[in-house]
Structure 1
Amino acid sequence: MTDQATFAPERLKAFVDAVVAIAMTLLILPLLESVSEAADVGTDTGDFLAEHSGQLMSFTLSFVLIAAFWMEHHGQYQQVRRVTPALLWINVAWMLTIVWLPVPTAMLGQMHPDPLQALLYIGTLILTQVATMAGKLYLLRQPQLTDMSPELLRRGTAGDLAAIILFCIALPIAAWVHVIGYFALLLVALSDPLEKLLLRARR
């Protein structure tokens, strides 16, 4: 057993769930403000949807990404039996990236695209994935804290690394190839085959 102080994970999981729910709710606030502004000037629904298509796209994209990050986190920590201070701080870092994501999302939806915007948005996704992987690597070193097998943790770590690599490839494309833009994030769909390649290379 680890010589660090540990505690049950229920409160951590409840706290993470609350933070994620708040972050996902914050994503919609810029759109709600835009609806109020449109109503004040008499904009009809069709014009509103056309004028604010960028906001709608950024909201949907970030909502789906946060949901995916949360589902992965939920599956991983569902099998964690004890939490150490180090694992808690890894989760705090993960939550920081989730809470920050609505800010670059609002920029993406309302401001003219530029390379720094892409760095803030996709860089946040990379940091979220890094924090996710850090949790798995820590659990690999502290197997007594989880019921998840080392093999599953290694596979999960390879999947995280694959996503990080693909996010890093998408970043310069989104920043400088404006014809493609944030559609470059669709590269993440290749995570599964890249994960298999990484696992083969490891073996």
Structure 2
Amino acid sequence: MTDAPRATPFRTERFKAFVDAVVAIAMTLLILPLMESVSEAASGHMSTAEFLDEHSGQLLSFGLSFLLIATFWMGHHRQYRDVEFVTGPLLWINIAWMATIVWLPVPTAMIGQMDTDPLQAVVYIGTLIMTQVTTLAGWLYLARHRELGTVSTETIRLGAIGDLAAIILFSAALAIAVAASPDGYAGLFLLLLSDPTSRLLNRLFRRHHDAAPAPEVETGT
């Protein structure tokens, strides 16, 4: 009895192009609610200053989500820059990642057009956390399947630590947003601590690795 044939990994060219297209569409979708608001403002003979004042929250949520998606895309580009082949499981990890990107314009529109409540913060920041979780899953998969590319061990380690730091900070921001609703989104400023948090986690992991006992080597007698 023969084993079932394993799926052959495929090259990353179409995969990367598809990801780029999905991200571009998601970033474009962010602007559509603002375009509708401009049309409504024009129908109501609203001045530019009145429009900017009335829709300031919508403009801020657009700018924040646009920046976050751009940051996620740049991180994804760095993560898969030296990956030459993609397997089925890795593809599904990235499909989950893309789902969070495509979904983000929905909670963004909720922030800009609806009254703020704790569940809204859970939906928005929870989406950001899931984006980081799927990115971390990609690093862990690449760490176990080094044959898929030439990504260095150091790159994988630093990438995983960076995602773990982001998950921690997003989780803290979510707790602040829920506790301080409706003014809790300022907790997202915790992301400015990403670099120091990553460096701290890196030192902790190095210290743990250095403190771990070396495996015993059996010698023949």
TM-score range, shorter chain: over 0.9
Secondary structure (helix, strand or coil) at the match of 2:10 reads: coil
Aligned to 1:146: 149
Secondary structure (helix, strand or coil) at the match of 1:122 reads: helix
Residue deviations 1:118-161 (CA, integer Å, cap 9, x gap) = 00000000000001111011000001112110111011100000
Give 1:196's match in structure 2, choosing from 196, 199, 205: 199
Q: How far apart in 2 are the matches of 1:17 and 1:156?
A: 20
1:8 aligns with 2:34: no
Aligned to 2:185: 182
Q: How far apart in 1 are the matches of 2:42 and 2:194?
A: 42
When the two structures are superposed, what TM-score results if normalisation uses the length of structure 1?
Answer: 0.96
Q: Unaligned 5+ residue runs, structure 2?
A: 1-5, 207-221
What is the CA distance between 1:176 and its match in structure 2?
A: 2.3
What is the CA distance between 1:179 and its match in structure 2?
A: 7.2
Secondary structure (helix, strand or coil) at the match of 2:133 reads: helix
Residue deviations 1:35-54 (CA, integer Å, cap 9, x gap) = 00010010010000000001
Aligned to 1:92: 95
Aligned length, in residue pairs: 201
Aligned to 1:104: 107
Question: Contact 2:23–2:73 at 8 Å: present in 1 too?
Answer: yes
Aligned to 2:117: 114
Aligned to 2:215: none
Which has more radius of gyration? 2
Q: How far apart in 1 are the matches of 2:182 and 2:30?
A: 25
Q: How far apart in 2 are the matches of 1:107 and 1:189?
A: 24
Q: How far apart in 1 are the matches of 2:140 and 2:148?
A: 12
Identity of aligned residues (%): 64
Q: How far apart in 2 are the matches of 1:73 and 1:101?
A: 16
The worse-fitting range, judged by mean Cα deviation, of 140-149 and 116-125 is 140-149
Coordinate RMSD, CA, aligned: 1.1
Aligned to 2:172: 169
Secondary structure (helix, strand or coil) at the match of 2:28 reads: helix
Runs of 4+ in structure 1 deviating by more than 3 angstroms, as ranges, are none
Question: Contact 1:173–1:180 at 8 Å: present in 2 too?
Answer: no
Q: Which structure shows the higher helix fraction?
A: 1
Q: Unaligned 5+ residue runs, structure 1?
A: none
What is the CA distance between 1:89 and its match in structure 2?
A: 0.3
Q: How far apart in 1 are the matches of 2:39 and 2:166?
A: 38
Aligned to 2:218: none
Give 1:37's match in structure 2, choosing from 36, 40, 55: 40
Question: Contact 1:80–1:145 at 8 Å: present in 2 too?
Answer: yes
Give 1:126's match in structure 2, choosing from 115, 124, 129: 129
Residue deviations 1:172-197 (CA, integer Å, cap 9, x gap) = 21122147521211111111111111
The worse-fitting range, judged by mean Cα deviation, of 190-199 and 68-77 is 190-199
